[in-house]
Amino acid sequence: LSTMHPDVETILFSEEDIAQIVQRLGAEITRDYQGKDLVLIAVLRGAVVFMGDLMRAIDLPLAIDFMAVSSYGSNAKSSGIVRIVKDLDMDIKGRDVLIVEDILDSGLTLKYLMKNLSSRKPASLEVAAFLWKDVEGKQAAIDPKYVGAHCPDEFVVGYGLDFAERYRNLSYVGILKPEVYS
Ligand code: PRP
Ligand code: MN
Ligand code: MG
């Protein structure tokens, strides 16, 4: 959905901004993964929209797979406890794995995933994050190789990002009005 949602205060990244960002990332990945055995792994559910766009911006043979993880509520999230709800269908041993994420906030989801996936002995393991909330004074647990854009420490929704499972279908990334979540 492209029209401004009444619950959205400001549009941070328009559909056009997003298309440009994704084209740039796709070109970088295409250049870096020449001759490699690329597997894109998206983290359900937030990353599905970015995954759909990014895979089509990469001009290389590639495979895709999905993982679903759950953190035990908001407290457990900051403790870094992550449970695999749906594992990969694919064996990634010896392959060049790129994890696709919509947003990197504390980085704890990705930190856990990196550790878990690296134990399966891929040839390489990197992260492509569409947004990075790298707020000053708050250290992210991991350092993504590909970053679409930096994002302020606000409640952002759209382009796969939800609040209480809503707004994922917005075609842009916007800041949610405070009265919606408070
Ligand atoms: C969100 C987002 C990232 C993660 C980032 O997922 O999509 O996966 O949180 O947070 P972190 O860097 O602090 O770990 P969420 O758990 O809300 O699930 P969802 O993708 O289904 O919305
Ligand atoms: Mn997610
Ligand atoms: Mg979410």
Q: Give 141 or 88, the one with higher predicted confidence.
A: 88
Instruction: Please give the mean pLDDT across all residues of the chain.
Output: 94
Mean pLDDT value of segment 57-72: 94
Q: List residues, by chain if needed, whose CB lies under 5 Å from ion ligand 2.
A: 46
| Model confidence band, residue 2 (pLDDT cutoffs 50, 70, 90) | confident
With respect to residue 8, please indicate whether it lies within any of the assigned structural domains.
no
Can you state the angle between helices 48-56 and 15-32, rounded to 10 degrees? 60
Position 74 pLDDT exceeds 70: no
Tell me which residues are annotated as active site. Answer: 105
Backbone phi, psi, residue 3, to 5°: -80, 150
The tally of domains found in the chain comes to 1
Report which ligand 1 atom has the smallest distance to the Cα of 133: 12
Query: How far away, in angstroms, is 101 Cα from ligand 1 center?
Result: 8
Mean of pLDDT values over 15-24: 98
Nearest atom in ligand 1 to the alpha carbon of residue 46 is 20
Q: In this structure, what CATH number is given to the domain that contains residue 60? A: 3.40.50.2020
In a domain, 170, yes or no: no
Instruction: Assess if residue 130 is contained within a domain.
Output: yes
**Which residue owns the Cα nearest ligand 1 atom 6?**
46
Is a pLDDT exceeding 70 seen at residue 75?
no
The verdict on residue 142 lying in a domain is yes
Q: How far is the CA of 51 from the centre of ligand 2 (A)?
A: 12
Residues 125-160: pLDDT tens digits? 999 999 999 877 776 678 899 999 999 999 999 999
State the pLDDT at residue 142. Answer: 86
Prediction ipTM score: 0.97
Q: Residue 73: is its pLDDT beyond 70?
A: no
Does some domain include residue 6? no
Q: Is residue 177 part of a domain?
A: no
In a domain, 49, yes or no: yes
Tell me whether residue 173 is in a domain: no
Averaged pLDDT, 15-19: 98
Residue range(s) defining the domain that contains residue 44: 15-153
